Amino acid sequence: MTGNSDFDTYRLSEDHEAIREAVRAVAEDKIAPYAAAVDEESRYPQEAHDALVASDFFAPHVGEEYGGVGADALATCIVIEEVARVCASSSLIPAVNKLGSMPLILAADEDVKKRYLTPLAAGESTFSYGLSEREAGSDTAAMKCKAVRDGDDWVISGQKSWITNAGVSDYYTVLAVTDPDGRRGNNITAFVVEKGDVGFTFGEKERKLGIKGSPTRELHFDACRIPGDRVVGEVGAGLKIALKTLDHTRVTIGAQAVGIAQGALDHALAYVKERQQFGKRVAEFQGIQFMLADMAMTLEAARQLMYVAAAKSERDDADLTFFGAAAKAYASDVAMQVTTDAVQLLGGAGYTRDFPLERMMRDAKITQIYEGTNQIQRIVMARQLLKG
């Protein structure tokens, strides 16, 4: 349908399986024990942060030339999937490190890459991404945040909304209008802003339904002056870079969604095999078995689609735009369905905080919204189909 007849699009190698085993061990030993408290206290998962740095899973996508491990897109998705299986908030650490730094990987000159990717790879800083605004969410080209050239510098004024890990990250890729009279979509430029830059401040933490361990705040720029050597790519090419970035990083949201759903299915399975009603285990009832089968079937379909999209991301295939959107939309819809069903399978217990299912259900919802709502993903897919 999308013009690609090559169905042998990915194969998990022994290295990929070894990475899964290693990440799962870190996630279960060092991340899972804190997941409930991180959610309850709405606090940054510092234990997960430290464990990911220590195990080289903090920003695994960064290339070896910058001191990183150079994990391919599929391996990076496996890292995010396995962390999300126990704590969605913690999985945003590697996911947003990729989102924030991907514009640099795609478009920055070598000096900018070395300056910012090297400390990221070393685990010395996280990287966030500033694209959305209050009135420019799905309609990114309508952004108002502007950057004006002043000698060799740029002066940024405006705000950004819904910024993941804002306040924690030292580096921010920020998109701003640099030619107010220019053609819409060709008048935006990407910059790196540093946490300590004068005139750059943060709003209050948003009070959210889920992913409470990942701080979400506004970025405020009050005549924030940055040097001209912080431009990412060409002046005016920012929106193209931003959209290309999302083609790659939407796959990581698919990975997060798959991980959340897998965690929920694992807990539901364990529960129904133990709990007894009417003199037998709940798992022995055919109605329950049908629910479990449907949960596992749709989850596996989502995982396979996400892995195919990850392989396409690695190769930068021409049909990545379609597959990235499809993986994100389908996996996040599945995550919402699977977590809702998992809560149902536990009955009243599923509705309490004694079990992680209600947290997983709340965390799953955001995967249908951020990095482009699933309505926008369907527009993206339809446009790709109609273009042929």
Gap between the Cα atoms of 116 and 21, Å rounded: 30
Q: How do strand 171-177 and strand 127-130 relate by DSSP bridges?
A: parallel
Which of the 8 DSSP states describes residue 136? B
| Residues 6 or more apart whose Cβ sits within 8 Å of residue 309 | 250, 251, 254, 320, 323, 324, 326, 327
163 neighbors 119 (Cβ within 8 angstroms): no
Amino acid at 335: A
Q: Is the dihedral of CA 32, 37, 43, 46 positive or negative?
A: negative
- What residues are annotated to the active site? 371
Gap between the Cα atoms of 91 and 124, Å rounded: 18
Amino acid at 333: D
Compute CA distances 252 → 41, 68, 273, 307, 345, whole Å. 26, 18, 32, 10, 28
Gap between the Cα atoms of 267 and 262, Å rounded: 9
Compute CA distances 217 → 78, 176, 203, whole Å. 27, 18, 5
Q: Is the dihedral of CA 106, 109, 111, 112 positive or negative?
A: negative
SS3 state of residue 274: helix
216 neighbors 202 (Cβ within 8 angstroms): no
Amino acid at 310: A
Gap between the Cα atoms of 247 and 314, Å rounded: 11
DSSP 309-334: HHHHHHHT-TTHHHHHHHHHHHHHHH
Q: How do strand 276-277 and strand 280-281 relate by DSSP bridges?
A: antiparallel
